[in-house]
Amino acid sequence: MQKIVFFDIDGTLWDENMQIPKSTIAAIKELQAGGSYAFLCSGRSRANIKSRHLLDIGFDGIIAACGTSIEYRGESIFEQLLSQEQVTHVLRALSAHNIPAVLEGPEYIYVNPEEFLDDPYVIYLRKELKEQVAEIGTDMSRIVINKLSAALKGADVELFQRDLGEAYDVIIHEDDIIEINPHGYSKATGIEKVCSLLHISHENTYAFGDSANDLEMLSYVSHGIAMGNGTAVAKEAAEYVTTDIHADGIAHGLRHYGLIK
């Protein structure tokens, strides 16, 4: 039966310098040549998945923005957006706690530059995405997003979550960064939708990840694989821990399950 493998991007397919090991590219191509599907499955919104080095690998599809945006072979098949009222509510809660945010959508990333003057991630966004990075401003009607990311900077996350309300899920990363998603959406829900569309049985699902926003994905698939360079929580959630990203981690994991030779 046909199998499907989902790959996180950051810390899984490429490192902090966006370098993808040659062994990873070769392994994914061999996986597909053998008849299996290969999907990106990222917390990044679609606007922030633009690297030709990454996309030219030739993935069958993309689950972006923690399951709220899905495409298959170049066509959008699912898009969950925050309403104007939701965007306004979340921004008010963030402002009340002095938490600067990056708003992430299918076409644009929105950020107030003065809140991230020396932030390397925002500097990267502006350099990489250019005109696709816009200021948040005050007109909520022009903001089209699936989710947000934010820097806590000492804020009380429990108090913020209480003010935010139950309509949103907050993922806390080890580096004081949080992701804010509409409640009930995750990489796992995106995987479920894709597998239903392609008629893939659960026993033939695999996923590679390395961090906190991969936990539901690693737990949901039949075979969750954590990178050797991943966080402790990712390794605990996985069925198998492969080697580090630069020690042929993807190739080693695929070979462990007999998906490539």
Residues 6+ apart with CB under 8 A from 103: 87, 109, 110, 111, 136, 143, 145, 148
Q: CA 123 to CA 99: how far, in whole Å?
A: 18
Q: CA 147 to CA 194: how far, in whole Å?
A: 20
- Contact 213/237 with Cβ under 8 angstroms? no
Q: CA 134 to CA 112: how far, in whole Å?
A: 8
Question: What string of DSSP letters covers 140-166?
Answer: GGG---SEEEEE-TT--HHHHHHHH-T
Q: CA 141 to CA 133: how far, in whole Å?
A: 16
For residue 46, what pLDDT is reported?
98
The pLDDT of residue 191 is above 80: yes
Q: CA 213 to CA 222: how far, in whole Å?
A: 17
For residue 40, what pLDDT is reported?
98
For residue 118, what pLDDT is reported?
86
The pLDDT of residue 59 is above 80: yes
For residue 170, what pLDDT is reported?
95
Residue 70, helix vs strand vs coil: strand
- Contact 146/104 with Cβ under 8 angstroms? yes
* Averaged pLDDT, 200-212: 97
The reply to whether the predicted model has a pTM over 0.75 is yes
For residue 1, what pLDDT is reported?
82
Q: Which amino acid is at 125?
A: L
Residues 6+ apart with CB under 8 A from 24: 13, 245, 248, 249, 250, 251
Residue the block writes with tokens 């490192």: 15
Query: Which residues on neighbouring strands pair with residue 181, listed in sequence order?
Result: 169
Could you report the per-residue pLDDT of 76-131, keeping only the tens digit for each?
Answer: 999 999 999 999 999 999 999 999 999 999 999 999 989 998 888 899 899 989 99
The 10 Å Cβ neighbour count of residue 79 is: 16
Q: CA 184 to CA 124: how far, in whole Å?
A: 30
Could you report the per-residue pLDDT of 131-180, keeping only the tens digit for each?
Answer: 999 999 989 899 999 999 999 999 999 999 999 999 999 999 877 899 99
Could you report the per-residue pLDDT of 17-45, keeping only the tens digit for each?
Answer: 999 999 999 999 999 999 999 999 999 99
For residue 240, what pLDDT is reported?
98
- Contact 24/8 with Cβ under 8 angstroms? no
